[in-house]
Amino acid sequence: MPESHRDDIRNLALFSDMAEENFEALMRGAYVQNFPPRVDLAVEGDTPDFLHIILSGSVDLFSSWNGRETSMATVRPVSTFILAASINDAPYLMSARTLEKSRIVLLPSQDVRDVFMKDGDFARAIVTELAQCYRSVIKNTKDLKLRTSLERLANYLLRQKNRSGSLEFDLVMEKRRLASFLGMTPENLSRAFKGLEPYGVKVQGNHIVITDLDDLARFARPNPLIDDHHA
């Protein structure tokens, strides 16, 4: 594995405080692989053989049932995904596929569990990350259950505005996936965009322009207990 990749992994909060010998033990069994777009990395219901770390590209986490599919999250560098399944040696609750050409590190799940049992700093970092994931799930559930589709879209656009630092930005996912992520049909999403026009939202394809931020914020009423996924 190139030294730059090892540094990227070591700098992740999950691995930064663990003992050097334990980090080296993990790296001995790890390997890096390049994947083209639309490749399945994990299949819902399968047993996790690896913990994945994305170094470049992007990965869609999604779930399927009874002929329907929904997008759960998009994972971007540098981060791990589906950690809980690897630690618990439990079936994946989500599937994962590449959205674009991606470079992924694969760490054998058994090695991760072995080091978890003997490295206290690594174990604490895992608990912290899983706690953060749990809080994000709760916030996402509140967003889906307490808000209308129009309110969900409005708050999503405000979060994207904050990430981009601009009142003009491009959507980070195509609209069909965005509709799935927000719990809508593509038709409902199209109507929701039209419904936000009176609040200062203009849409051209995937390009968004917010012309009246105060009006949009008054309608959306963002709440850090729902919308801040970093706390």
Q: Are residues 41 and 69 in the same domain?
A: yes
- CATH number for the domain that contains residue 136: 2.60.120.10
Alpha-carbon torsion 20, 26, 28, 31, what sign? Answer: negative
Place of tokens 């609040």: 199
Q: Are 46 and 107 members of one domain?
A: yes
Q: DSSP per residue over 135-161, as a string? A: HHHHHHHHHHHHS-HHHHHHHHHHHHH
Instruction: Report yes or no: 189 and 102 within 8 Å, Cβ to Cβ.
Output: no
Number of domains in the chain: 2
Given 143, 164, 189, which residue is the final one in a domain?
Answer: 143
Q: Are residues 139 and 62 part of one domain?
A: yes
Task: Give the end of a domain, one of 103, 128, 143.
Answer: 143
The answer to whether residues 86 and 178 belong to one domain is no
Q: What is the pLDDT of residue 123?
A: 96
Residues 166 and 138 in one domain: no
For residue 169, the enclosing domain spans: 147-227
Regarding whether 195 and 113 lie in a shared domain, the answer is: no
- Considering the domain architecture, whether residues 72 and 128 belong to the same structural domain is answered as yes
User: Which amino acid would we find at residue 212?
Assistant: D
The burial of 63, by beta-carbon neighbours within 10 Å (0-12 exposed, 13-18 middle, 19 or more buried), is given as: middle
Q: Are residues 127 and 165 in the same domain?
A: no
92 and 203 inside one domain: no
Same-domain check for residues 129 and 72:
yes
Looking at the structure, tell me whether residues 36 and 106 fall in a common domain.
Answer: yes
Contact residues for 178 (Cβ-Cβ < 8 A; gap 6+): 156, 171, 189
Query: For residues 107 and 54, is the Cβ–Cβ distance under 8 A?
Result: no
- Sign of the Cα pseudo-torsion (20, 21, 25, 27, in order): positive
> How many other CB atoms are there within 10 angstroms of residue 24's CB atom?
10
Long-range contact set of residues 120-125: C-beta below 8 Å, sequence gap at least 24: 121/17, 121/18, 121/19, 122/14, 122/15, 122/17, 122/18, 122/19, 122/22, 124/17, 125/13, 125/14, 125/15, 125/16, 125/17, 125/18
CATH of residue 179's domain is 1.10.10.10
Of 84, 111, 143, which closes a domain? Answer: 143
Q: What is the pLDDT along the chain (231 residues), one digit of tens a residue?
A: 778 888 989 999 999 999 999 999 999 999 999 999 999 999 999 999 999 999 999 999 999 999 888 988 899 999 999 999 999 999 999 999 999 999 999 999 999 999 999 999 999 999 999 999 899 999 999 999 999 999 999 999 999 999 999 999 999 888 999 999 999 999 999 999 999 999 999 999 999 999 999 999 999 999 999 998 776
121 and 201 together in one domain: no
**Which amino acid, residue 127?**
V
